[in-house]
Amino acid sequence: MAVEDSSITSESATVGLPDTLWVHLSLVVSIVLMGAPLLLALLMSTQSTAQIYDVTNLAPGGYALENYQSALFEYDLARYIVNSFVMSIIVVVGKVSLSLLAALAIVYYDFPYKDAIFAFVLLTLLLPVPVRIVPLFELMADLGWANSMLAITGPYIASATAVFLFRQHFLSIPSSLVETARLDGVGPIEFLVDVLVPMSRGMIAGVSVITFVYAWNQYLWPLIVVSDQQKQVVQVGISYLQSASQAGQTQWGLIMAGSILALSVPLVVLVALHRPLLETFALQQK
Amino acid sequence: MVRDIRAFDDSRAAAVFLAPTLAVLVLFLYYPSFETFRLSLYETLLLGQQTTFVGLDNFVTLATSPEYHNSLFVSFAFAAVVVVGSLTIALFVAYQLYRVDKWRSIYLVAAIWPYALPPAVAATVLLFLLHPNLGVITHYIELIPGVEFDWFTNGPLAFGVLAVVAIWKQLGYNIVFLLAALHNVPESLAETSRLDGVGSLTMLREVYVPLISPTLGFLVVMDTIYAFFATFPLVDLMTSGGPNGATNLLIFKLYRDAFEFNSLGLASAESIVLFGIVSILMLAQLKLTGEYAHYGA
């Protein structure tokens, strides 16, 4: 690669290390520092409350099963995780489908005010939830959607970013393909499903990861619009855990177990799909 | 601009395909946003049951409220610290990832995972690990003679702790973008600007940073928006805006004014201010990326 040539190093001269070793060393240190809080949380999630209150005790505690079971079933985290999962899947499927259709219309059709409509979609980037939070809350109440899955998914299933990314991708697909499809008399939905979707797999996977993580990590909006604990998502659910205490001592082991659980799902999704995510991000900056 | 491929002619079909997206955007984005403007001109009483038109009074209230001035100051300071901190660390890590000769994909996943880290989890974990009485990290920090790490009562410390959490969570996102930008730098450009005997960090500063400046500009904007909007869970779970308003970010104040104190008109005016901030940032980004584009679009 670019700068590995050892003739151009001087840090190495100052530190007394070959350049490649310095690269590896700094990466290992950075990664350990970034991961340390998580590893400590994982460790503490195996400790009993008494062990936790013995602050310098960093040995695995043997209470993992109790903590995770209690978090999942006594404190209902299992239910919140299911709620979060259903919400995130609805948002991913809804956003991807709606945005594919919108991009199909924008790229492959000619209609009046096309640029204006595209701008109308893009301008919603200026309207994050906090800009419209009070009326949105009132709207949900008026619609009778408070405490429902509709309330925590509906506002998220259309997206300027997803439409933009799919549009960019469609524009890069050779127009000869379009000509062939046109001559063969292929209909638009068939064209989308049989030609565009297979050619956009990476992009769809990338948008799906971004959307899944984004939906899973929502906190403010569910906190406001869901007051029925049974319907709550896991991010707000872990704040319910903080009231968990025993003989006046907060059960931090249990809370750490809940935190690890709330992180595990998006983490698995990210690790599994990090390639398409990286490719999508790379395209976003062009 | 838009390259017309025009595979299909029936513009009614196009309307059908666009309708779901437009319907959601109108109902859940545009309509409530316009309502926010309208509501900001009213005073609401009795849980929103009674509203009185007050013109720009809510904005006057904000402009003359020391508490709101404090939130503005805290939010901008917080954004500055988070943007500089997160971008500096991410730039260093991304550069090393770009240069590393082996195990790149393992390092990569180990460096970008905070992208998936939920802010509420980041807040809960560090609330415990940095807890003034129980936190193991606090214990070791306080081994330094004379250091008392009680951020529950010390405003600047609480601000610092919150910034650390926000920076930590944002590293994954920044590293992903910066690494992609570094890979987009044409080899030959870096080659010609390479100065003999220059250290790798000098190379980063003198050669790569100017070349990836459009991405840096983009990230400054995205991270600022993140610091303003996505950090609500950190404040809510760690400090509740305290001590003494030291972490009372605009987004948290807005939440309390709206949903704890039911001042819906005032909260709407606060939303409008946030809208102004987002708009300026987005325009700045468009302008910046246009002006500093060093390599192909």
Instruction: Tell me the pLDDT of chain A (286 aa) as tens digits.
Output: 444 444 444 444 444 567 888 899 999 999 999 999 999 999 999 998 888 888 888 888 888 899 999 999 989 999 999 999 999 999 999 999 999 999 999 998 888 888 999 999 999 989 999 999 999 999 999 999 989 999 999 999 999 989 998 998 898 888 888 888 877 888 888 889 988 999 999 999 999 999 999 999 999 999 999 999 999 999 999 999 887 766 678 889 999 999 999 999 999 999 999 988 888 877 665 4
At residue A55, the pLDDT reads 82
Number of helices (H) and strands (E) in chain A: give both, helices first.
Answer: 17, 2
Q: What whole-number distance in Å separates Cα of residue A270 and Cα of residue A259?
A: 17
Shortest Cα–Cα distance, A255 to chain B (Å): 8
Which A residues 160-219 touch B at CB under 8 Å?
A: 163, 171, 175, 178, 181-182, 188, 191, 213, 216-217, 219
Do A181 and A81 fall within a single domain? yes
At residue B297, the pLDDT reads 25
Q: In this structure, are strands B42-45 and B50-53 parallel, antiparallel, or unpaired?
A: antiparallel
At residue A247, the pLDDT reads 64
Model confidence over B154-173: pLDDT tens digits? 999 999 999 999 999 999 99
**For chain A, what is the domain count?**
2
Domain boundary among A21, A49, A64: A64
For residue A98, list chain B residues with Cβ-Cβ distance below 8 A: 20-21, 24
Contact A132 B176 (CB under 8 A): no
In a domain, A34, yes or no: yes
At residue B245, the pLDDT reads 93
In a domain, A35, yes or no: yes
User: Is pLDDT of B253 > 80?
Assistant: yes
For residue B177, list chain A residues with Cβ-Cβ distance below 8 A: 281, 285
Tokens of A272: 């599994």
Do A53 and A92 fall within a single domain? no
Q: What whole-number distance in Å separates Cα of residue A156 and Cα of residue A95?
A: 7
Q: How deeply is B180 buried, as exposed, middle or buried, from its count of CB atoms within 10 A (0-12, 13-18, 19+)?
A: buried
Angle at B187 between CA B181 and CA B193, to 5 degrees: 100
pTM of the model: 0.91
Full set of structural domains in chain B with CATH: 66-291 (1.10.3720.10)
At residue A12, the pLDDT reads 41
Residue pair A166/A207 in contact by the 8 Å Cβ criterion: yes
Residue pair B107/B97 in contact by the 8 Å Cβ criterion: yes
User: Is pLDDT of B148 > 60?
Assistant: yes
Shortest Cα–Cα distance, B155 to chain A (Å): 23
B224-251 average pLDDT score: 94
User: Is pLDDT of B198 > 60?
Assistant: yes
Residue type, A139: L
Q: In this structure, are strands A245-246 and B42-45 parallel, antiparallel, or unpaired?
A: unpaired
In a domain, A179, yes or no: yes
In a domain, A117, yes or no: yes
At residue B101, the pLDDT reads 84
Do A25 and A127 fall within a single domain? no
Q: What is the DSSP letter of B29?
A: I
Residue pair B149/B138 in contact by the 8 Å Cβ criterion: yes
Do A170 and A273 fall within a single domain? yes
Q: What whole-number distance in Å separates Cα of residue A274 and Cα of residue A206?
A: 8
**Residues A254, A260, A261, A262: is their CA dihedral positive or negative?**
positive
Do A21 and A75 fall within a single domain? no
Do A34 and A144 fall within a single domain? no
Do A42 and A91 fall within a single domain? no
Which one of A9, A26, A55 has the shortest CB-CB distance to B136?
A: A55
Do A105 and A229 fall within a single domain? yes
CATH number of the domain at A163, please: 1.10.3720.10
Q: What whole-number distance in Å separates Cα of residue A126 and Cα of residue B282?
A: 8
Shortest Cα–Cα distance, B270 to chain A (Å): 8
Q: In the A/B pair of chains, how many CB contacts fall below 8 A?
A: 326
In a domain, A88, yes or no: yes
Which residues 6+ apart lie within 8 Å of A203 measured at CB? A165, A166, A169, A276, A279, A280, A283
B123-138 average pLDDT score: 93
Which A residues 6-65 touch B at CB under 8 Å?
A: 7-11, 14, 19-20, 22-24, 26-27, 30-31, 34-35, 37-38, 40-41, 44, 52-53, 55-56, 58
The residue in chain B having the minimum alpha-carbon distance to the alpha carbon of residue A102 is B18
User: Is pLDDT of B281 > 80?
Assistant: yes
**CA-CA-CA-CA dihedral for B205, B219, A208, A131, to nearest 10:** 170
Domain extent, residue A11, equals 6-64
At residue B276, the pLDDT reads 95
At residue A243, the pLDDT reads 78
Shortest Cα–Cα distance, B20 to chain A (Å): 6
At residue B185, the pLDDT reads 84
Could you give the ipTM of this predicted complex? 0.90
Do A172 and A98 fall within a single domain? yes
Q: Which of B10, B21, B240 to mutate to test the interface with A (most CBs of A within 10 A)?
A: B21
Contact A102 B18 (CB under 8 A): yes
Do A210 and A264 fall within a single domain? yes
Domain boundary among A64, A82, A99: A64
User: Is pLDDT of B2 > 70?
Assistant: no
Domain boundary among A64, A82, A114: A64
Q: What whole-number distance in Å separates Cα of residue A160 and Cα of residue A122?
A: 5
At residue A7, the pLDDT reads 43
In a domain, A125, yes or no: yes
Q: What whole-number distance in Å separates Cα of residue A236 and Cα of residue A244?
A: 14
User: Is pLDDT of B133 > 80?
Assistant: yes
Q: What whole-number distance in Å separates Cα of residue B234 and Cα of residue B232?
A: 5
Contact B119 A217 (CB under 8 A): yes
Residue type, A148: S
Do A270 and A149 fall within a single domain? yes
In a domain, A1, yes or no: no
Q: What whole-number distance in Å separates Cα of residue A92 and Cα of residue A214?
A: 10
Contact A135 B32 (CB under 8 A): yes
Contact A41 B107 (CB under 8 A): no
Do A44 and A58 fall within a single domain? yes
Contact A115 B36 (CB under 8 A): no
